[in-house]
Amino acid sequence: MKYKQDIGLIPNVSYGDFVLGSNINTYLSQEHTKKMYDEVTFSNISYFFKREEINVWCDTDGSINTIICSSYCLFHNKNLIGMKYTDFLTEFSKEPDSEDNIYVLVSGKGQRQHVHDFEKDGLQVWVWRNKIRTVLIYNANL
């Protein structure tokens, strides 16, 4: 059976069924966990949806502002997670607008991941050892 997740990533719009800007209540009938953060950030509420293996960050009004894929992220019928970043650049046909390095703790060990922002497309791609580890999807126009 194909899930709507198989539609995959549409930059600036959605990932599978999850549409940026829509209200999280639309999706809460699906199996999920919720996490609240104490620190003040642009978003202090997140949900993890088990079937899709995605995290969804919301504004205080419940609107989805970011979708995070760390296990699987379908784009043009290819999984971006684990893909070589150089192959992604060829597939995506664009160069990032900005780049940064961020120290990330993964399974108790540190990684200095390269973060590439494709701002006009609402994508942030996190790379370690030339492989994509995480993709953040947001709407640059919201």
pLDDT given at position 45: 84
pLDDT given at position 142: 59
50 Cβ partners below 8 Å, 6+ apart? 30, 31, 32, 33
Strands, sheet with 18-19, edge to edge from the N-terminal-most edge strand: 9-10, 14-15, 18-19
Q: Where are the domains of the chain?
A: 4-138
pLDDT given at position 38: 65
124: tokens are 């942030």
Distance, in Å, from the CA atom of 132 to the CA atom of 135, rounded to the nearest integer, reads 8
CA neighbor of 5 nearest in space, from 46, 49, 58: 49
Residue type, 39: E
Q: What is the pLDDT along the chain (142 residues), one digit of tens a residue?
A: 344 445 799 999 999 999 999 999 999 999 999 988 766 555 668 999 998 899 999 988 899 999 999 999 999 889 999 999 999 999 888 899 999 999 988 888 888 999 999 999 999 999 999 999 999 999 887 5
Distance, in Å, from the CA atom of 64 to the CA atom of 56, rounded to the nearest integer, reads 7
pLDDT given at position 5: 46
pLDDT given at position 42: 55
